[in-house]
Structures are given as C-alpha cells and as structure tokens.
C-alpha cells in the first residue's frame, strides 16, 4: 500500500536543493509525482506530491524534517485517496493588466462567492512591451459544479476587470 505525501518546501535558493529533496525521497522508495517550484525573492519555494510505501512514510517524514539542518524547511501532509469528482466542469482564467494591489483579492472573492475552486494559480510580473510599467499576468485552472453559470461568472469578472483595468478571459 502506498501513502501520498503533499510537501511544501522553502529555503534560501542555491544549487542542489532539488537533488537533495529528490534523493531523500528516493532513499525511502518514494516516487516524485507532481510539483511546482520557483525562485521567489531569493528563496526556493515549492510544492510537490510523492508516493511512498506506507511502511516508509514515517521515516521519510523524519528525513525530510532533518533537511532543515541544510537550510530546507519541509512540511509534509498525508493525503487521502483522491475522490472521484462527478459533475464538475473545468476551465481556465487568463488575466493581464497594469500591476496594482488587490487584483488577486478581488478576483478570488468573485470566484469564491460562486463556489469556484482554484486548482492551480500562476502569476508573474513582466515589463510592458510599450512602456516600463509592470504588467501583472495570471493563469488559473478552475473548477466548479457542472451547473455553475459561466456566463454570469464572466459578467461578474468583466465588471471587476473594468474596475481594476485588466483584461480577463475565461476558457472552457
């Protein structure tokens, strides 16, 4: 029987951190399944899911905690078996506009009020091609009940986009 562990990691960015993490997982017969990792403000940060034989889970968690001595903090959470999701629709959101505080807050509030789940969110600041102003870009993978009115959601997001002066596109 396998145990799934969801890991969050953070530490000062330096070469070798992914190798250190992957070797620790491999030493406990773990399998690296899915991850997202980035350098953010001089820190290495990431999240990943690994599967490990149930009898190795405690030892792996102990070994991951010991990585703090090498500058890498790891939090491990055991995950239950995934549930089957019926009657779910998945779609994406693309956003681009001049950067200003509150963009993620306002968009996520509109999504939450309509019981839309954010499954994955990637954001970045980029230089505008015609100006030196920074543009905020976001890409989100979303899911909601099959009966969620995407036209109403689109209208709500367009109203927010107008206030924030950003462009938002929903794609199903």
Confirm whether 2-79 and 88-171 share one CATH topology: yes
> For residue 83, is pLDDT > 80?
no
pTM: 0.83
- Any idea which of 45-49, 50-54, 145-149, 162-166 has the lowest mean pLDDT? 162-166
CA 85 from centre of chain: 19
How would you class 160 by CB atoms within 10 Å of its CB: exposed for 0-12, middle for 13-18, buried for 19 or more?
A: middle
The SS3 of residue 113 is helix
Cβ atoms of 150 and 168 closer than 8 Å: no
Q: Are 138 and 122 in contact (CB under 8 A)?
A: yes
Q: Where are the domains of the chain?
A: 2-79, 88-171
Q: Quick: pLDDT tens for 2-57.
A: 999 999 999 999 999 999 999 999 999 999 999 999 999 999 999 999 999 999 99
Tokens of residue 44, six digits = 């290495």
Q: Which CATH superfamily is domain 88-171 in?
A: ACT domain (3.30.70.260)
DSSP state of 111: H
In angstroms, the CA 127 to CA 129 distance is 6
DSSP 158: H
Please give the residue that has the higher pLDDT: either 15 or 83: 15
* Topology of domain 2-79, CATH: Alpha-Beta Plaits (3.30.70)
Distance CA 44, CA 47 (A): 11
The yes-or-no verdict on residue 84 having pLDDT over 70 is: no
């Amino acid at each position: 029987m396998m145990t799934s562990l969801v890991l969050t990691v953070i530490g000062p960015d330096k070469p070798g951190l992914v190798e250190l993490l992957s070797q620790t997982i491999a030493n406990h017969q773990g399998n690296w399944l899915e991850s997202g990792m980035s350098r953010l403000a001089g820190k290495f940060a990431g999240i990943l899911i690994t599967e490990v034989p149930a009898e190795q889970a405690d030892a792996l968690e102990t070994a991951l905690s010991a990585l703090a001595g090498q500058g890498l903090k790891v939090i491990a959470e055991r995950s239950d078996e995934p549930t089957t999701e019926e009657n779910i629709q998945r779609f994406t959101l693309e956003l681009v506009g001049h950067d200003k505080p509150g963009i993620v807050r306002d968009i996520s509030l509109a999504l939450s009020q309509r019981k839309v789940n954010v499954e994955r969110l990637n954001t970045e600041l980029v230089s505008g091609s015609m100006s030196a102003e920074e543009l905020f870009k976001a890409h989100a993978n979303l899911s909601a009940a099959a009966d969620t009115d995407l036209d109403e959601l689109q209208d709500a997001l367009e109203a927010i986009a107008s206030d924030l002066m950003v462009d938002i596109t929903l794609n199903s």
